[in-house]
């Protein structure tokens, strides 16, 4: 079996547990806090110290967070992210374990063919459309890019089934770019805490890019996803386990500072 080059979901969940509780929140200063500034506020604003402290704690709890999708190279990462749309990472990993053992390059994926690919990923939601996208993007990689996944957002977004979020994930994980891939978890957390409120994922992405300190941008995407997935949950945020609860301004939080 091809050796994976990132930690599996168990490791990622360990990072999430670390984010949830390994660092104690700093005591809130007497007199309350300054209300959060708009997402486009400069880092020199009074709220900059709050943002810096939030990401300092995430970094202290999980210095090297990992994604939960299994992959073996940039191509398989790209395929895994395309398959993960409206599906769980664990479900994708179950389907791609056998797939990536026999088709870990665009050329091999084309040789596998759409029919067999569809059969191997049929447990994943929207598998028929996704199979078409994977075969089509593999063909474009071979025909136009020498079979190499590009380190360029615009080039990635020209591939079938690849949008801005998918491109940002690939750029961040495969190429170490400080991109912010805004999924449902990051969108919720950013608006809830708040960090960079916005009406659309692109608004949130641009807002986060402005306010997150440069020293933390590389891993910010992972910290926020893990925080939203395992702590700041949609239905009931587990504020009792949150390491930034004293810095959170969400009126519905279940812990009073």
The residues annotated as belonging to the active site are 165, 183
Per-residue burial over 181-193, b if 16 or more Cβ lie within 10 Å, else e, is bbbebbbbbbbbb
Count of Cβ atoms closer than 10 Å to residue 125 Cβ: 15
Euclidean distance between CA atoms 142 and 74, whole angstroms = 14
Residue 239 is labelled as binding a ligand: yes
Residue 232 is labelled as binding a ligand: yes
Euclidean distance between CA atoms 18 and 241, whole angstroms = 10
HSE of 65, CA atoms in CB hemisphere, 13 A: 29
Provide the token pair at 1.
């079996």
| Residues 170/9/240/233 CA torsion (nearest 10 deg) | 50
Which residues lie closer than 8 Å to 107 by C-beta, 6 or more apart? 138, 142, 147
| Residues 142/148/151/155 CA torsion (nearest 10 deg) | 0
Alpha helices in the chain (DSSP H): 9-21, 48-61, 74-83, 89-102, 106-112, 114-120, 127-145, 153-157, 164-175, 184-192, 201-211, 217-230
Residue ranges of the binding site: 232, 239, 242, 248
Residue ranges of the binding site for [4Fe-4S] cluster: 232, 239, 242, 248
């Amino acid at each position: 079996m091809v050796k994976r080059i990132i930690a599996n979901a168990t490791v990622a969940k360990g990072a999430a547990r670390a984010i949830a509780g390994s660092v104690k929140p700093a005591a809130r200063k007497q007199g309350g806090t300054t209300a959060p500034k708009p997402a486009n506020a400069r880092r020199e604003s009074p709220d900059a110290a709050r943002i810096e402290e939030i990401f300092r704690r995430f970094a202290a709890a999980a210095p090297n967070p990992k994604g939960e999708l299994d992959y073996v190279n940039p191509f398989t990462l790209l395929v895994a992210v395309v398959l993960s749309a409206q599906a769980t990472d664990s479900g994708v990993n179950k389907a791609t374990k056998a797939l990536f053992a026999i088709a870990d390059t665009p050329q091999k994926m084309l040789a596998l063919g759409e029919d067999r690919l569809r059969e191997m990923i049929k447990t994943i939601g929207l598998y028929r459309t996704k199979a078409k996208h994977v075969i089509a993007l593999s063909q474009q990689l071979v025909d136009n890019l020498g079979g190499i996944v590009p380190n360029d957002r615009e080039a990635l977004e020209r591939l079938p089934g690849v949008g801005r979020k998918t491109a940002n994930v690939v750029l961040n994980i495969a190429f170490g770019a400080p991109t912010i891939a805004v999924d449902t978890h990051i969108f919720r957390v950013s608006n809830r805490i708040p960090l960079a409120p916005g009406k659309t994922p692109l608004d949130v992405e641009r807002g986060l890019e402005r306010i997150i300190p440069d020293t933390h941008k590389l891993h910010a995407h992972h910290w926020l996803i893990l925080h939203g997935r395992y702590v700041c949950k949609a239905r009931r945020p587990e504020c009792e386990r949150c390491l930034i609860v004293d810095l959170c301004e969400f009126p519905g939080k279940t812990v009073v500072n």
